[in-house]
Amino acid sequence: MSNSDLSRLANSFLLSLLAIAIAGTAPSKTIAQEEEVEEILVTSTRSRRSFEDLPTRVEVLGGEEINEKANMKPGDIRMLLNESTGIYVQQTSATSFNSTIRMQGLDGKYTQLLRDGMPLYSGFSGGLSLLQIAPLDLRQVEVVKGANSTLYGGGAIAGLVNLVTRRPSDEPELSVLLNATSADGLDASTFYSVSNESFGTTVFASYNSSEGYDPAGNDLSAIPEFERWTLNPKLFVYGDDSELMLGVSVVNENRLGGDMNYIAGDRSRPAYYEDSATLRVSSQLEYSRILDSGSELVIRNSFSRFNRELLVPDFEFSGTQLSSFSEAHLLGGSMSMDWVVGMNLWTEDFDQDSGFSAMQIDYDQQTFGVFAQGTKSLSGTWSLEAGLRVDSDSDYGEFFLPRLSLLYTGFEDTSIRLGGGLGYKLPTPFSEEAERIQFQNLLPLQIEDLEVESSAGINADINRSWQLNNLLSLDLNLLLFYTEVDDPLMLVPQVDQAYSYQQPLPSIDSRGTEINAVWRWNDYKFFLGYTHADVQENWRDETLDAALIPEDRVNMVFVYEREDDIRVGLEAYYYSQQTLESGARSPDYWIFGLMMEKVFSDDFSLFLNFENFGDTRQTHDGPIYTGSLSNPEFVDIYAPLDGFVINGGVKLSF
């Protein structure tokens, strides 16, 4: 980062602190007047310990953060994740808005995305997952960074994101969110829940749509035309010592991006387009029972069928993916130790329906695993969590995955965590690279020539809290991370214009720092996050910077909130220069946002959001493609393409 960059960051930081100081004349409420803090139950670690006593570092985005981001982007969870420290949502398509999660600088394929502890978004179905998950029915989002393969198997190399859905409430609840955007978008979501002593139910439904949107005037869609329907009903059956949950989810979407005239219906001339139709149907089952011994038996199953048809000029690709996840685990514990043992089975089968017949990329995988993990208090200040997983895959053999975490609480208001483990990722033909080429000329996997991607990672963090007076508090967290991935799978162009998966690169390593700080004073909050990610590709004769990773990111949010009355937030996000595929460096940039919500009663509120009101767009720096409009060659995407967008709407509760 240059001196001018540091100066700008410092100035913004000081201005934010000045705003907090000036706000000191506002009415206040003491700590004694604050509502009690809601208990946080973390499900990802499968431990019965409180949030503060977990040796594994877990970040939890609660209802407040989810509601805030739902106001800003009600149709999907990209903003919810992208504005979290250490997570970067990268857009991979210039016209269809496809995006992927990058955690701690690593590619999205190394982050595992779960829903209620079950994997529903992987392989062929993972490419559009971030665009097809609406946030209204989420209770919290749990983020565990670093190697976490002990409980969840291969793929959790950079970390995992567990989307925890809302459960039935004692009183009938019906909430509705309606939203419209200046980019011709429309969102309508509803959530209903009710329960009694024997049964409970939740129903989530949403409709999301947008017209094609071209703020740059280059005749290509920065936001595609799309229409999506989602329905997710669940039934809960309660027994004296048991609970059964049955659910089904259906997501149907049509998405068309590319030439704006083609989107408008003009078929009279050659045009570039990406036309994608998807149908995702999945089931969820979870049964839990408290045994006579006091231990808890949990059985889970999910089954998913994902079909996608993709059309681009002169090429069609379609296929169906069937995947399943089954697990049984037993939880137990005492005053000094908690433990979990279990087994699970993953299956994934893909059948290609269309495309070049000589390049069928059908594949199937079955992986069976057993795992055990224990969390023990070694003393009044030390806690240890250790786990071991053994996986057996039908094609690649066995894997041993140990993991270890330590927690020290010997200092007042301070906790120190240290953890590390091993991980792996099985080769599949679906990745961000394959999405970029729309699966054209993609050769099948040559299993006999490929190795499994393996990893080793370590994280260390310090968390410190200060209660400076009855009104002012400060929370500070520092995280250091390092991960090495051996034999990363890469898509390599061939002389005949085909692409094959190979492993020419011995290793990738990612190291860096995350800093989170939260000031609270009266009705004011200031959040500061900083991420430094140094990702290196270690070739045999040289080391290169990985492409499209901002080395430095800063997120700042200043919020004024009177509970059950008004909320106003000002946001600023900084992205440093990125190395492009060509080796050149992109410009750095800032994104600013303003959000507002007015609560009129317990069942009615209005919200308005000015996202990216500085209109930061990559198309201000140059064209997004080379060549002709009918056959464009897109450049690397390093900044937003949609620019300044206003959205607003209403929330209703009954």
- DSSP output for 32-99: GGSPPPPPP---TT---S-GGG-SS--EEE-HHHHHHHHHH-TT-SHHHHHTSTTEEEEE--TTT--E
Q: Band of the pLDDT at 285, cuts 50, 70, 90?
A: very high
Q: How far is CA 334 from CA 265, 296, 383, 408, 470, in A?
A: 66, 13, 14, 20, 37
Mean pLDDT of 281-310: 95
Please give the share of the chain, as a percent, with pLDDT higher than 70: 93
Question: What would the two tokens of residue 596 be?
Answer: 């507002």
- Which residues on neighbouring strands pair with residue 280, listed in sequence order? 251, 306
Please give the pLDDT value at position 423. Answer: 93
Mean pLDDT of 566-576: 96
The vertex-61 CA angle with 130 and 474, nearest 5°, equals 140
Please give the pLDDT value at position 577. Answer: 96
Q: Band of the pLDDT at 4, cuts 50, 70, 90?
A: very low
Mean pLDDT of 532-541: 95
Q: Count Cα neighbours of 136 within 13 Å in the Cβ-side half-sphere.
A: 30
Lowest-confidence region among 12-16, 135-139, 311-315, 434-438: 12-16
CA–centroid distance for 563 within its chain: 28
pLDDT in tens, 400-440: 999 999 999 999 899 999 999 999 999 989 888 888 888 88
Please give the pLDDT value at position 35. Answer: 37
Please give the share of the chain, as a percent, with pLDDT higher than 90: 69
- Residue 653 near residue 189 (C-beta atoms within 8 A): no
Nearest residue to 94 via CA among 590, 615, 646, 638:
638
DSSP string, 498-565: -EEEE----EEEEEEEEEEEEEEETTEEEEEEEEEEEEEEE-SS-EEEPTT--SEEEEEEEEEEETTT
Please give the pLDDT value at position 40. Answer: 64
Please give the pLDDT value at position 150. Answer: 80
Q: Count Cα neighbours of 212 within 13 Å in the Cβ-side half-sphere.
A: 25
* Strand duo 604-611 + 645-653: pairing: antiparallel
CB-count burial class (<10 Å; 0-12, 13-18, 19+) for 654: exposed
Mean pLDDT of 222-233: 96
DSSP string, 229-288: EEEEEEEEEE-SSEEEEEEEEEEEEEEEEEBHHHHTT--SS---EEEEEEEEEEEEEEEE
Q: How far is CA 513 from CA 98, 116, 419, 469, in A?
A: 28, 29, 15, 29
Judged against a pLDDT cut of 80, whether residue 16 lies above it is answered with no
Please give the pLDDT value at position 302. Answer: 96
Judged against a pLDDT cut of 90, whether residue 474 lies above it is answered with yes
Task: Assess if CATH 2.60.40.10 describes domain 3-653.
Answer: no
Please give the pLDDT value at position 432. Answer: 85
CB burial string 556-567: b at 16+ within 10 A, e below = bbbbbbeeeeeb
Judged against a pLDDT cut of 70, whether residue 346 lies above it is answered with yes
pLDDT in tens, 187-227: 999 999 999 999 999 999 999 999 999 999 999 999 999 99
Judged against a pLDDT cut of 60, whether residue 29 lies above it is answered with no
Give the largest CA-CA distance in the chain.
76
Nearest residue to 98 via CA among 123, 70, 64, 126:
126
Judged against a pLDDT cut of 50, whether residue 392 lies above it is answered with yes
Q: How far is CA 291 from CA 44, 145, 244, 301, 614, in A?
A: 22, 32, 15, 20, 58
User: In whole angstroms, what is the distance from residue 481 CA to residue 158 CA?
Assistant: 10
Indicate the SS3 state at residue 299.
Answer: strand
More confident residue, 108 or 254: 254
pLDDT in tens, 115-142: 998 887 888 888 778 888 888 889 999 9
Please give the pLDDT value at position 602. Answer: 84
User: In whole angstroms, what is the distance from residue 30 CA to residue 614 CA?
Assistant: 37
Which sign, positive or negative, has the C-alpha torsion 7, 8, 10, 15? positive
Please give the pLDDT value at position 13. Answer: 38
User: In whole angstroms, what is the distance from residue 110 CA to residue 549 CA?
Assistant: 15
pLDDT in tens, 80-117: 888 889 999 888 888 888 888 899 999 988 998 899 98
Task: Name the region of 140 (left: φ>0; alpha: ψ -120 to 50; beta: rest).
Answer: beta
User: In whole angstroms, what is the distance from residue 43 CA to residue 213 CA?
Assistant: 40
User: In whole angstroms, what is the distance from residue 255 CA to residue 226 CA?
Assistant: 4
Number of Cβ within 10 Å of residue 409's Cβ equals: 18
CB-count burial class (<10 Å; 0-12, 13-18, 19+) for 633: exposed
DSSP state of 121: S
Number of Cβ within 10 Å of residue 539's Cβ equals: 12
Task: Compute φ and ψ for 235, nearest 5 degrees.
Answer: -120, 130
Q: Count Cα neighbours of 515 within 13 Å in the Cβ-side half-sphere.
A: 8
pLDDT in tens, 586-611: 999 999 999 999 999 889 999 999 99
Task: Name the region of 116 (left: φ>0; alpha: ψ -120 to 50; beta: rest).
Answer: left
DSSP state of 636: P
Lowest-confidence region among 49-58, 432-441, 577-586, 599-608: 49-58
DSSP string, 313-364: TTEEEEEEEEEEEEEEEEEEE-SSEEEEEEEEEEEEEEEEEES-GGG---EE
Across all residues in the chain, what is the average pLDDT?
89
